Structure 1
Amino acid sequence: MSDPIAWLGDGTGQGRWGTPQTLTLPISDRGLLLADGLFETLLVEAGQAWLLDEHLARWQSSAMLLGLPPPPVAATVKPLIAAAIERSGIGTAQGGSGALRLNWSRGSGARGIDPPRISSPSFWLQLSASKPCFEPVRVIVSPTETRSASSLLSRCKSLAYGASIQARRQALEAGADDALLNSSAGGLCCSTSANLLVCRGGSWITPPLSSGCLPGVMRQRGLETGLITECDVQKPELLTCDAAWLINSLNCRPISHFHDAKLKNSHWEDPETAWRRLLTAGGFKHLKSAESSPG
């Protein structure tokens, strides 16, 4: 497996290559001290970063929303990504794939939380070997962590992941793999790192953005193609739904158990086929059950 590769610099594309262990941020960086920044995670496969334009668009709009300096534009980012893929070999080997993370911090400033008047933002990327995962996942609902329906941070892929970390820790301690988060507005919102999709009555739904869920890139693909619609999701619905999946840019995992209850997830296209169809602007479909198929 290829070793991770990293680059650290500024928004103009001036920087240096190294590894995640050798490249360092100054300890005054607000991304390190206050989680004052954003990131995007993309799939690298077949020598390219998938859905790059969609991720960069969310990156730019999120920075504007949080009052951060504008992140690097595509003309700056694309050559660096190409160089990272070439240097690492990740995503170019047969069957090879990776996770590319783009990070943007407000940079260093004086002590305290007030944003500096003049910012010197930090930009770094990391490319690590990683295979998309489609294995079933057991979930619980976090007993303490919720997703704010009104917070600006809920609309962005912020560096502030403390709540998700605690919810994932609770899931692991309970013998599960992941946790779902309640929305402060009521109902379920998302998981610690993925959007929630639920199939009921032959149609796929996902909690609306008003729940505080992240506007995921794959989620948006499904909405734009009309394969998914927004609708509130309540906890009891998971026990009676046709299927429930967790989806993001790297994975699509069916929920096998909700707490101790086993979910159906029956008669549907397998998650990888569905995810890849959505990745390439297609979609996923309902498959007939074996009982109703001729012959």
Structure 2
Amino acid sequence: MEHSPAKDLSDLSGFSLFETLRVQEGKAWWADEHFKRLRDSVKFFSLPELAGVAWQEQLQKVPRSGDWVVRLTYRAFGGRWQNCPVTFRLDVLFQRFSPAPNPLRCTWGAYRLAQNDFLRGHKSGSRMVWDLMLHQAKQLGFDDIWICDRADSILETAVGNLFLFTDRWYTPPLELGLLPGILRQKVLGTGAVETLNVPANAKIRAAVRGNSVAGLTPIQTIGDCQLNLELARDWIREVSRQVKLPLSG
């Protein structure tokens, strides 16, 4: 989908793109890949160019010691409600890393999403449906959700990509409208997983959630279905021999 350069940004008041990454003892995991993904989204939406120096300046604000989750947000300020021109600025927030539950208990997302939505391929602040579904699931005692589209294709979780074992390990293809996960791409490079459109009614024997903050986490249940934890953990060990992952905390 082509976009012409934006001349009037007044309608973008409040719009934001973001990246979330892990910084351990001053090491920012896959920082170059995160910057490229954010910069590609900025270009896709014809926003003012994001400079690498701004990215580095914000990362340098994170303490050099400790284990941190860092969110860098490229957001719009101003607009017609503030009676001033829209400008974009990169900001940083960080907090101490807190390990995710392990293993995870997941349930199905309450809503089906539109098919092949290209906007899902970008980390934007427009994630109300994801956040609402995850909030509802956590109120019921679950850790994460599996999100499907209206064709019942499995897409991802609220906070990561999915790796699913049926007869072998698969991950849903980006063409379904998925975020190109940084860790997902690293895992694909090992040959330990293939891409496949896995329907929600498939016989899934094991599953793993992956993101570049928490790494790879085995999933114990999806809804009332018990999954094979040993199979998931064996696969994580196999991948970990080929991809260096952040420490679990």
TM class by shorter chain equals 0.7 to 0.9
Letter in 1 for 2:72: L
User: How many pairs does the alignment contain?
Assistant: 233
Structure 1 partner of 2:102: 135
Structure 2 partner of 1:52: 31
Distance 1:245 1:217 in 2: 15
| Percent of aligned positions that are identical | 26
Q: Any idea what SS the aligned residue of 1:64 has?
A: helix
Please tell me whether residue 262 in structure 1 is matched to residue 222 in structure 2.
no
Residues 81-101 of structure 1 show CA distances to partners (whole Å, capped at 9, x for unaligned) of 234224xxxxx2xxx311011
Distance 1:248 1:134 in 2: 14
Whether the 8 Å CA contact 1:180–1:188 is kept in 2: the answer is: yes
Residue correspondence of structure 1 range 16-165 to structure 2 within 5 A:
30-31=13-14, 36-73=15-52, 75-86=53-64, 92=65, 96-111=66-81, 119-133=86-100, 135-146=102-113, 148-165=114-131
Residues 217-255 of structure 1 show CA distances to partners (whole Å, capped at 9, x for unaligned) of 101111233222110112233x542x2011101122211
Residue correspondence of structure 1 range 224-263 to structure 2 within 5 A:
224-237=189-202, 239-241=203-205, 243-251=206-214, 252-263=216-227
Q: Sort the Cα spacing of 1:199 and 1:240 in 2 relative to 1 into closer, same or farther, 3 A.
A: closer
TM-score, with length taken from structure 1: 0.70
Distance 1:240 1:151 in 2: 25
Letter in 2 for 1:81: L
Q: Any idea what SS the aligned residue of 2:38 has?
A: helix
Q: Any idea what SS the aligned residue of 1:236 has?
A: coil
Q: Aligned-pair distance for 1:270?
A: 5.7
Q: Sort the Cα spacing of 1:256 and 1:66 in 2 relative to 1 into closer, same or farther, 3 A.
A: same
Distance 2:234 2:97 in 1: 20
Structure 2 partner of 1:182: 148
Please tell me whether residue 168 in structure 1 is matched to residue 147 in structure 2.
no
Q: Any idea what SS the aligned residue of 2:72 has?
A: strand
Q: Aligned-pair distance for 1:108?
A: 1.8
Q: Aligned-pair distance for 1:44?
A: 0.6
Please tell me whether residue 222 in structure 1 is matched to residue 187 in structure 2.
yes
Structure 1: any 5+ residue segments left out of the alignment? 1-27, 87-91, 282-295
Letter in 1 for 2:13: R
TM-score, with length taken from structure 2: 0.82
Distance 1:240 1:152 in 2: 26
Residues 11-68 of structure 1 show CA distances to partners (whole Å, capped at 9, x for unaligned) of xxxxxxxxxxxxxxxxx9823xxxx110000111132101001000100111112222
Whether the 8 Å CA contact 2:101–2:143 is kept in 1: the answer is: no
Rg larger in structure: 1
Higher relative CO (Cα under 8 Å, sequence separation at least 6) belongs to: 2
Output the aligned Cα RMSD.
Answer: 2.7
Q: Any idea what SS the aligned residue of 2:170 has?
A: strand
Whether the 8 Å CA contact 1:133–1:250 is kept in 2: the answer is: no
Q: Any idea what SS the aligned residue of 1:69 has?
A: coil
